[in-house]
């Protein structure tokens, strides 16, 4: 089994494997190039984004700078907005739905390292070679989610559709759809309902209208 196949199988893999290092280096260099672009270089940015991610839906925008690990393990739906310093360490798969918005410094991580120090230093593979190893758990984020500034999404987490995650939250467990959740560790505060509509905040809504 190749090292990348081990990642998706959820078993220990060696991140220092040359094929994985080559894949990460390619993406890291593309991210560095993206981070040197100007915001109005839309065509150049679009070409780079197409090379970085497995798929990136229409109508999306990423402010930059960005820090993506593999990129090819991440799919992002349509009308995505990512603010400054988007970081995705996508050893395992990362799936982000449509119409999601991320505040500054949002981080998604998928790798998990051994808890014991001796095992972090090295584990023997089947041939008796001692290697640095870890494993990874996929992250899934549904449609129409808003993640506030400095949110960290940890390995193996699923966030359902229509969720709001408060700024500074560390999401370590699944969050059900239609939830407002916040905190460290992140927990559901309450369900989002029609009562949260801007209709009921006329002093903020001003002369604007809710709806299409």
Domain membership flag for residue 78: yes
Predicted pLDDT of residue 192: 97
Q: What is the pTM of this model?
A: 0.95
Domain membership flag for residue 71: yes
Domain membership flag for residue 212: no
145 contact partners, CB below 8 Å, separation of at least 6? 97, 100, 101, 159, 161, 162, 163, 164, 165
Predicted pLDDT of residue 131: 95
Domain membership flag for residue 119: yes
Predicted pLDDT of residue 198: 93
- Domain of 185 in residue numbering reads as 3-205
Predicted pLDDT of residue 212: 65
Q: Specify the CATH number for the domain of residue 122.
A: 2.160.10.10
- Please state the domain count of the chain: 1
113 noted as active-site residue: yes
∠80-84-86 over CA atoms, to 5°?
65
Domain membership flag for residue 210: no
Active-site residue, from 28, 69, 99, 113 = 113
Would you write out the chain's pLDDT as a tens digit for each of its 212 residues? 899 999 999 999 999 999 999 999 999 999 999 999 999 999 999 999 999 999 999 999 999 999 999 999 999 999 999 999 999 999 999 999 999 999 999 999 999 999 999 999 999 999 999 999 999 999 999 999 999 999 999 999 999 999 999 999 999 999 999 999 999 999 999 999 999 999 999 999 999 999 86
Q: Minimal CA–CA distance to 106: which of 134, 81, 135? A: 81
């Amino acid at each position: 089994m190749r090292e990348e196949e081990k990642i998706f199988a959820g078993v220990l893999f060696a991140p220092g494997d040359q094929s994985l290092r080559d894949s990460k280096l390619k993406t890291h260099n593309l991210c560095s190039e993206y981070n040197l672009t100007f915001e109005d270089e839309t065509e150049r940015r679009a070409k780079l984004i197409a090379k970085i991610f497995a798929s990136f839906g229409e109508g999306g925008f990423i402010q930059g700078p960005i820090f993506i690990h593999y990129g090819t393990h991440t799919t992002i739906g349509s009308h995505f907005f990512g603010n400054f310093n988007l970081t995705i360490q996508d050893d395992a798969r990362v799936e982000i739905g449509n119409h999601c918005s991320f505040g500054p410094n949002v981080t998604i991580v998928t790798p998990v390292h051994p808890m014991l120090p001796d095992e972090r230093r090295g584990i023997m593979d089947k041939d008796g070679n001692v290697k640095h190893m870890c494993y990874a758990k996929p992250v899934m984020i549904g449609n129409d989610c808003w993640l506030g500034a400095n949110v960290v999404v940890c390995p193996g987490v699923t966030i359902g559709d229509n969720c709001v995650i408060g700024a500074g939250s560390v999401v370590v467990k699944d969050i059900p759809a239609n939830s407002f959740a916040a905190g460290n560790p992140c927990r559901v505060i309450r369900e989002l309902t029609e009562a949260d509509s801007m209709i009921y905040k006329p002093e903020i809504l001003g002369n604007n209208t809710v709806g299409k």
